[in-house]
């Protein structure tokens, strides 16, 4: 869709986490379409200023349900782009994410928000043809996911920016994989690969957060007490160009090749840029055709040029 709306059709969107990765791209998309955006976070002013952007400083992790409901009042759509405050591995915590999600849902219901868009994680998607096995139950998915991230310069750069020391290990792993692939491998590069993949199999701290994202879907599945939609970004979700071209899938992990074949996932995972997912979310906020559905979107990520992890607003007076 992605067209500019007339003033009488403009909606009031609340975005939880407006200055973060996905939230900043979404706010930019919505404002460029002519909607009014209310940014809700501890520091929503970090996004910048615009005549159609209002900042409300509210920490969803500490605010009470009634307080949050007051923040959500009179909003047509609320999009949850919440991510934990801490940087690096300390942000990847199971219980805080679930507790905040629970609180937000209760506040949404109390405020009688007309439509709630939950941006979850890839972990809640099911393996093709298997509606009881999430991707995290598949023994090959996590390693295929980590390998795919390492094979992308754009994704590796993004992870370095977000995760600090954890990103440094990923960079070494990427360099070692490239050396092996180009016939330049050594005993050292082989050992780096073995060590990294051993860690991924045994004790990857990111799994805790991904598991929390998976479990959060249980708040929604089968729940028709309020109007919601749950979007799980496809596996390789990262910064990238805005193309406007993407495909939608429901419930299941999108795969390259035979989409119904869940075996050998190496080089078969799809992804999408934050800019393109923002289009899909904005479309859904306007059209609301996926109410009570769990869906994903994917696009062509052939362009592997690193792009900013966050965007900011340019005041309308400067355009």
Residue pLDDT, tens place only, 249-268: 999 999 999 998 888 999 99
What is the predicted pLDDT for the residue at 314? 76
Hey, where are the domains in the chain? 7-133+213-318, 141-203
Q: Is the pLDDT of residue 157 over 70?
A: yes
Q: Which among 161, 188, 238, 93 is positioned nearest to 170, based on CA atoms? A: 161
Q: 93 pLDDT exceeds 80?
A: no
Average pLDDT over residues 42-65: 96
Give 280's contacts (C-beta < 8 A, 6+ positions apart).
Answer: 231, 246, 248, 272, 297
Q: What is the mean pLDDT of residues 30-40?
A: 98
Q: Using H for helix, E for strand and C for coil, what is the string for 282-307?
A: HHHHHHCCCCCCEEEEEECCCCCCCC
Of 101 and 161, which is predicted with more confidence? Answer: 101
Torsion of CA 287, 22, 246, 53, to 10 degrees: 40
- Section 124-150 average pLDDT: 92
What is the spatial distance between Cα 316 and Cα 53, in angstroms, rounded to a whole number? 10
For the domain spanning 7-133+213-318, the CATH number is: 3.40.50.720
What is d(CA 299, CA 251) in angstroms, rounded to the nearest whole number?
17
Distance CA 172, CA 159 (A): 13
Kindly tell me if the per-residue pLDDT of 227 is higher than 90.
Answer: yes
Hey, which residues does 119 pair with through a beta bridge? Answer: 231
CA dihedral 60, 63, 65, 70 (to 10 degrees): -90
Q: What's the confidence (pLDDT) of residue 315?
A: 58
Give all strands (DSSP E) within 172-245, no chain letters.
228-231, 236-238
Confidence category of residue 202, pLDDT binned at 50, 70, 90: confident
Across 99-108, average pLDDT = 97
Q: Please, where are the H alpha helices in 204-242?
A: 206-216
Which DSSP state fits 152? -
Above pLDDT 70, what percent of the chain? Answer: 94
pLDDT at 90 over 70: no
Matching residue, tokens 């040029």: 305
Which pLDDT score is estimated for 153?
A: 97
Reported as a pLDDT band with limits 50, 70 and 90, residue 89 is low
pLDDT tier at 83 (50, 70, 90 boundaries)?
Answer: confident
Looking at residue 5, what DSSP letter applies?
P
pLDDT of residue 42: 94
Are the C-beta atoms of residues 281 and 247 closer than 8 Å to each other?
no
Confidence label for 87 from pLDDT (cuts 50, 70 and 90): low
Q: Phi/psi at 11 (nearest 5 deg)?
A: -105, 160
2 band by pLDDT with thresholds 50, 70 and 90: low
Per-residue pLDDT at 88 exceeds 60: no
């Amino acid at each position: 869709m992605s067209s500019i709306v007339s003033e009488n059709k403009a909606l009031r969107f609340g975005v939880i986490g407006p200055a973060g990765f996905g939230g900043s791209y979404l706010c930019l998309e919505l404002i460029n379409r002519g909607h009014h955006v209310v940014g809700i976070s501890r520091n929503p002013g970090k996004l910048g200023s615009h005549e159609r952007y209002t900042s409300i400083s509210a920490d969803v992790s500490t605010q009470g349900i009634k307080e949050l409901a007051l923040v959500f009042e009179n909003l047509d759509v609320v999009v949850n782009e919440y991510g934990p405050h801490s940087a690096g591995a300390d942000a990847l915590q199971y219980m805080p994410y679930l507790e905040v999600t629970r609180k937000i849902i209760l506040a949404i219901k109390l405020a009688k928000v007309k439509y709630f868009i939950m941006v979850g994680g890839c972990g809640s998607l099911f393996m093709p043809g298997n509606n009881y096995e999430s991707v995290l139950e598949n023994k090959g998915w996590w390693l295929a996911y980590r390998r795919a991230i390492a094979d992308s310069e754009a994704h590796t750069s993004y992870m370095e920016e977000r995760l600090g020391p954890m990103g440094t290990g990923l960079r070494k792993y990427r360099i070692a994989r490239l050396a092996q692939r180009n016939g330049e491998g050594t005993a050292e590069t082989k050992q780096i690969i073995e060590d990294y993949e051993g860690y991924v199999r045994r004790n990857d701290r990111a799994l805790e957060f991904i598991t929390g994202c998976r479990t959060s879907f249980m708040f929604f599945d089968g729940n028709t007490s309020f109007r919601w939609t749950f979007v799980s970004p496809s596996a390789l979700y990262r910064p990238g160009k805005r193309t406007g071209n993407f495909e939608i899938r429901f419930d299941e992990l999108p795969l390259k090749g035979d989409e119904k074949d869940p075996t050998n996932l190496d080089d078969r995972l799809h992804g999408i840029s934050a800019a393109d997912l923002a289009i899909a979310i904005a479309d859904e906020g306007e059209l609301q055709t996926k109410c009570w559905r769990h869906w994903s979107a994917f696009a062509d990520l052939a362009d592997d040029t690193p792009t900013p992890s966050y965007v900011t607003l340019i005041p309308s007076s400067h355009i």
